[in-house]
């Protein structure tokens, strides 16, 4: 074992989904090693314990895994469960941690961020429940990075990442497992595969799944085309590539345009779906019909009793603060507990572990349930396929019937990416200074009911999270929210969220743009976005 002298880096505080930087930052001597050693120093159960390890296959994934394996051996990890080829989707990693009862897992991913030598890389630690580390753990890791002076690593031949079976590195056993099978087995327990198989073989149903040259390609091919009998061309862009084929692996209308085109026009397929870089996000499309993630969660909650794994009913739901209130309306009518949490999947973990909720989701194309402790893109796709098979209706018919029953929450998000960090922080400070003055005001015919800086007290452990985003709510149920995202690697990302509630079925088929026009104007004016950031339009609208 070698003990390497090092010095701290000042920028290793994890964000909402781990530590994300440009590849070149992680290639800086000692940078990755410092952060990994901080994990081993603070997560002491790993010494003599079991570690799950894998990533989304982006550039530098394989090299980083070799370094982590050598460090795991030097730090006394007894056994590593490693995804074949160094691959594990984030939901599959959560599944593996829970199935093999490991003492945690290291997941290498920057999720939906672009990959390649000039782009992004990431690393995060998941706790033994399979979920992202809570703030208490990430803060402990960060504090350790600020004082680290050395790390431990052994020399040795590179581990064969591609051959399933047992290997040893020093005193550490390394088990390379099939990256897909454990996850697929779990999906078979939750969904009626026979019924979905019948849907695919009905001769009247067509589908495309866009893997975006990311990690879900092998999972989708095995499950959709293999187990469920979908046609061989169902999965497109199914080969994982280190740069995601030059694309942006974010499943939204802007970055999955090939899939959007396949679900548009007179010859469109009936169902389209996509997942992101590490497999935890999803986009759902019908023929000429986009399902917002907020609506998707609400539809799932309303129909969970029709799905095999949830047939006995669900006891509660949760959504992130920026997510629309559509699921709240379902919970209210069905008598379910409903929680509003900060952005970040780790906030759902305590609720799931305590049995307070069964379904959860966020507007940024993430949905999940109590089957694991991460959001799960392919799980959401299978849920929709099972629902389509049961209802024998189109995506549009299912969603429109849902609106008729519960009302429609029109929803959109504006992203302003890579803006000046000081300008973004100044904008948020300006909004906070106005909060006390807003309640009771009428803004372009919208009367403000409340205005606050969202804070969350965890109902399970009592932990407090403050300054989680600005909320401005109106008396008619409409809302505006602002927050700075923690997932970018350049400057700051300002997100603006807008929602308008329409209970009248005769007014539920308007375009989102026409409904949102006045709310957009109010938001841009209140936040002084153009004056403070210099941006005349958002980078992406979803």
- Active site positions, annotated: 111
- Report how far residue 150's alpha carbon sits from residue 496's, in angstroms, rounded to the nearest whole number: 42
Is the four-CA dihedral 264, 201, 284, 245 of positive or negative sign? Answer: negative
Calculate the CA dihedral of residues 524, 530, 536, 537 and round it to 10 degrees. Answer: -40
Contact 284, 381 (CB under 8 A): yes
Is the four-CA dihedral 89, 90, 95, 97 of positive or negative sign? Answer: positive
Largest CA distance in the chain: 71
What 3-state DSSP class applies to 515?
Answer: helix
Residue 213: phi, psi to the nearest 5?
55, 35
- Report how far residue 143's alpha carbon sits from residue 412's, in angstroms, rounded to the nearest whole number: 37
Contact 286, 263 (CB under 8 A): yes
* Tokens (6 digits) for 392: 């024998």
By residue count, the chain amounts to: 542
* Tokens (6 digits) for 515: 């409904």
- Per-residue CA distances from 527 to 425, 443, 446, 469, 482 (Å): 11, 13, 16, 13, 9
- Residues 6 or more apart whose CB falls under 8 angstroms from that of 456 comprise 321, 340, 341, 342, 347, 464, 465, 468
Q: How many CA atoms lie less than 13 Å away from 123 in the CB half-sphere?
A: 28
Sheet containing 408-419: order of strands: 442-443, 446-453, 470-474, 479-485, 492-502, 408-419, 540-541
- Hey, how many other C-beta atoms are within 10 angstroms of the C-beta on 405? 12
Q: Where are the alpha helices (DSSP H) in 335-376?
A: 346-353
* Tokens (6 digits) for 338: 């409903």
Contact 264, 291 (CB under 8 A): no
């Amino acid at each position: 074992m070698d003990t390497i002298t090092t010095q701290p880096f000042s920028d290793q505080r994890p964000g909402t989904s781990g530590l994300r930087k440009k590849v070149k930052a992680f290639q800086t001597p000692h940078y990755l090693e410092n952060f990994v050693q901080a994990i081993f120093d603070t997560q002491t159960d790993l010494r003599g314990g079991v570690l799950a390890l894998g990533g989304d296959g982006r550039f530098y994934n394989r090299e980083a895994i070799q370094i982590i394996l050598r460090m795991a051996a030097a730090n006394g990890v007894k056994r590593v469960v490693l995804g074949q080829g160094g691959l594990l989707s984030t939901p599959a990693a959560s599944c593996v941690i829970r199935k093999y009862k490991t003492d945690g897992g290291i997941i290498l991913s920057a999720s939906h961020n672009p990959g390649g030598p000039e782009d992004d890389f990431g690393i995060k630690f998941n706790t033994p429940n399979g979920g992202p580390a809570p703030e208490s753990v990430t803060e402990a890791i960060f504090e350790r990075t600020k004082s680290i002076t050395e790390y431990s690593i052994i020399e040795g031949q590179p581990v064969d990442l591609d051959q399933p079976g047992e290997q040893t590195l020093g005193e550490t056993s390394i088990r390379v497992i099939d990256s897909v099978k454990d996850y697929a087995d779990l999906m078979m327990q939750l969904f009626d595969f026979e019924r979905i198989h019948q849907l695919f073989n009905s001769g009247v149903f067509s589908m495309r799944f866009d893997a975006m040259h990311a990690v879900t390609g092998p999972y989708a091919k095995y499950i959709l085309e293999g187990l469920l009998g979908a046609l061989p061309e169902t999965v497109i862009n199914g080969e994982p590539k280190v740069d995601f084929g030059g694309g942006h692996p974010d499943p939204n209308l802007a970055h999955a345009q090939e899939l959007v085109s396949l679900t548009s026009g007179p010859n469109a397929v009936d169902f389209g779906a996509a997942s992101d870089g590490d497999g935890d996000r999803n986009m759902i499309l019908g023929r000429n019909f986009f399902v917002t993630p907020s609506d998707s969660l609400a539809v799932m909650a309303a129909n969970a009793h029709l799905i095999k794994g949830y047939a006995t009913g669900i006891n509660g739901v949760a959504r992130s603060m920026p997510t629309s209130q559509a699921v709240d309306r379902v919970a209210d009518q069905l008598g379910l507990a409903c929680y509003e949490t900060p952005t970040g999947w780790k906030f759902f973990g305590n609720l799931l572990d305590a049995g307070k909720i069964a379904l959860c989701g966020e507007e940024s194309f993430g949905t999940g349930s109590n089957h694991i402790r991460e959001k799960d893109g392919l799980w959401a796709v299978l849920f929709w396929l099972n629902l389509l098979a049961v209802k024998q209706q189109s995506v549009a018919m299912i969603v429109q019937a849902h609106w008729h029953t519960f009302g429609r929450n029109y929803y959109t998000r504006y992203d302003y990416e890579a803006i000046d960090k000081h300008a973004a922080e100044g904008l948020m400070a300006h909004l906070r200074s106005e909060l006390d003055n807003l309640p009771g005001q009428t803004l372009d015919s919208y009367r403000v009911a409340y205005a606050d800086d969202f804070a969350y007290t965890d109902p399970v452990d009592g932990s407090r999270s403050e300054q989680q985003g600005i909320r401005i709510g109106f008396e008619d149920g409409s809302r505006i929210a602002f927050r700075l995202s923690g997932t970018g690697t350049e400057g700051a990302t300002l997100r603006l969220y807008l929602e308008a509630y329409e209970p009248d079925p005769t007014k539920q088929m308007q375009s989102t743009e026409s409904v949102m026009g006045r709310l957009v104007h109010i938001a841009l004016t209140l936040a002084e976005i153009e004056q403070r950031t210099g941006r005349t339009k958002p980078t992406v609208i979803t």
